[in-house]
């Protein structure tokens, strides 16, 4: 039986790489993102390999998320895996200087968008007693850093939401994982610095960051673990990334 995967944030980075990987393996894809042109290009590129349904959707829009998932074409309506990947960081300013609009966008996307997609698809999974949710958290949900303020807090939410989902799904066959990547070279920093590519490039200068393909390999592995295994949480950093000491301010 051909499986179906929903990937939010499929137009770039981890999401795009997951789409390519699962298409290669013959899974049916439901791809979500705001950039319609990219989705169209991906449809052209990947539909030679598998069946694809693309949806131009802003996950912040609660009404549209529910409307979309409630009206999926029959051939794409039995979702085996949901990858809640759509997300972003905006800005790196300290909390006392950060743009409050950026905070709203991160909360509305990383938290609300993720819970809307989950809530919309979960009843179908429960009814079929089958399915898997793979949330893309971040190491920033575990470890604080200057300027990480609301972004890290949204990812800490994703971690605890993932665990609480498991508690609610006790006794079912539905699995939930929180995958927590460290620094990875995608469009993430271009988005964070609002299109400033020079500043974004500096983030990855002279380091071997994780690549989108490293993460899609892990998503592929998680999605193919035997049914009796639930990977609760998996944290991955590039080897070049480690912890620093706690800072002590001296007068
Ligand atoms: N790169 C890293 O260092 C890193 C590390 C840890 C975790 N993460 C997390 O990994 C996930 C993917 O990030 P990435 O690194 O692959 O960044 P990316 O290349 O910027 O991709 C982000 C994806 O999310 C989509 N997206 C953003 N807002 C959306 C919205 N409101 N509705 C629908 N789609 C939306 C974007 O598509 P559209 O613009 O077309 O909507 C894009 O496809 C995010 O949750 C991020 O927080 C990234």
Q: How many DSSP H helices and E strands does the chain contain?
A: 9, 9
pLDDT on residue 109: 99
Percentage of the chain beyond pLDDT 70 is 100
pLDDT on residue 156: 99
Instruction: Strand 28-33: give its sheet, edge to edge.
Output: 52-56, 28-33, 4-8, 81-84, 132-136, 175-181, 233-236
Counting other chains too, the contacts that 38-41 makes at CB distance below 8 Å and 24 or more residues apart are 38/11, 38/12, 39/10, 39/11
Q: pTM (2 decimals)? A: 0.98
Q: Which tens digit of pLDDT belongs to each residue from 97-155? A: 999 999 999 999 999 999 999 999 999 999 999 999 999 999 999 999 999 999 999 99
Cα angle for residues 227, 228, 232 (degrees, 5° grid): 95
The rounded distance, in Å, linking the Cα atoms of 35 and 50 is 21
The rounded distance, in Å, linking the Cα atoms of 85 and 77 is 19
91 in contact with ligand 1, CB cutoff 6 A = no
For residues 216-234, give the mean pLDDT. 98
pLDDT on residue 233: 98
In the reported structure, the alpha carbon of residue 9 is separated from the centroid of ligand 1 by a whole-number distance in angstroms of 6
pLDDT on residue 225: 98
Sign for the CA dihedral angle at 113, 20, 121, 58 comes to positive
Provide φ and ψ at 170, rounded to 5°.
-50, 135
Q: How confident is the model at residue 26 (pLDDT cuts 50, 70, 90)?
A: very high
Give the atom of ligand 1 at the shortest distance from the alpha carbon of 185. Answer: 1
> At which residue do the structure tokens 């997951």 appear?
18
Q: How confident is the model at residue 236 (pLDDT cuts 50, 70, 90)?
A: very high
Domains, the chain: 4-182+215-236 (3.40.50.720)
Sign for the CA dihedral angle at 40, 46, 51, 56 comes to negative
pLDDT on residue 43: 98
pLDDT on residue 88: 98
Of 102, 98, 94, 169, nearest in space to 133 by CA: 169
In the reported structure, the alpha carbon of residue 165 is separated from the centroid of ligand 1 by a whole-number distance in angstroms of 22
Burial (CB count within 10 angstroms: exposed 0-12, middle 13-18, buried 19+), residue 170: exposed
For residues 54-71, give the mean pLDDT. 98
| 3-class secondary structure per residue, 69-114 | HHCCCHHHCCCCEEEECCCCCCCCCCCCCCCHHHHHHHHHHHHHHH
Residue nearest to atom 41 of ligand 1 (CA): 34
The rounded distance, in Å, linking the Cα atoms of 223 and 208 is 26
Give the atom of ligand 1 at the shortest distance from the alpha carbon of 59. Answer: 32
| 3-class secondary structure per residue, 144-198 | CCCCCHHHHHHHHHHHHHHHHHHHHCCCCCCEEEEEEECCEECCHHHHHCCCCHH
Arithmetic mean of pLDDT over the chain: 98
Q: Which tokens sit at 137?
A: 């958290």
pLDDT on residue 61: 98
For residues 183-198, give the mean pLDDT. 98
11 in contact with ligand 1, CB cutoff 6 A = yes
């Amino acid at each position: 039986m051909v499986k179906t995967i929903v990937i939010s944030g499929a137009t770039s980075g981890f999401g795009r790489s997951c789409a390519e990987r699962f298409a290669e393996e013959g899974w049916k894809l439901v791809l979500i993102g705001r950039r319609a042109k990219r989705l169209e290009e991906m449809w052209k590129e990947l539909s030679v390999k598998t069946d694809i349904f693309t949806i131009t959707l802003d996950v912040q829009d609660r009404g549209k998320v529910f409307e979309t998932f409630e009206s999926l074409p029959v051939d794409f309506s039995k979702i085996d895996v949901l990858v809640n990947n759509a997300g972003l960081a905006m800005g790196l300013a300290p909390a006392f200087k950060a743009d409050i609009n950026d905070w709203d966008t991160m909360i509305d996307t990383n938290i609300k968008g993720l819970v809307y997609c989950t809530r919309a698809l979960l009843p179908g999974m429960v009814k079929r007693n089958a399915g898997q949710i793979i949330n893309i958290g971040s190491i920033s949900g575990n470890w604080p850093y200057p300027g990480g303020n609301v972004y890290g807090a949204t990812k800490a939410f994703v971690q605890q939401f993932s665990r609480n989902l498991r508690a609610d799904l006790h006794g079912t066959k539905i699995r939930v994982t929180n995958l927590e990547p460290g620094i990875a070279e995608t469009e993430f920093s271009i988005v964070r610095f609002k299109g400033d590519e020079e500043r974004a490039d500096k983030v990855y200068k002279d380091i071997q960051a994780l690549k989108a393909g490293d993460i899609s390999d892990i998503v592929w592995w998680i999605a193919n673990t035997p049914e009796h295994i639930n990977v609760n949480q998996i944290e991955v950093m590039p080897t070049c990334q480690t912890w620093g000491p706690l800072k002590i301010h001296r007068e």
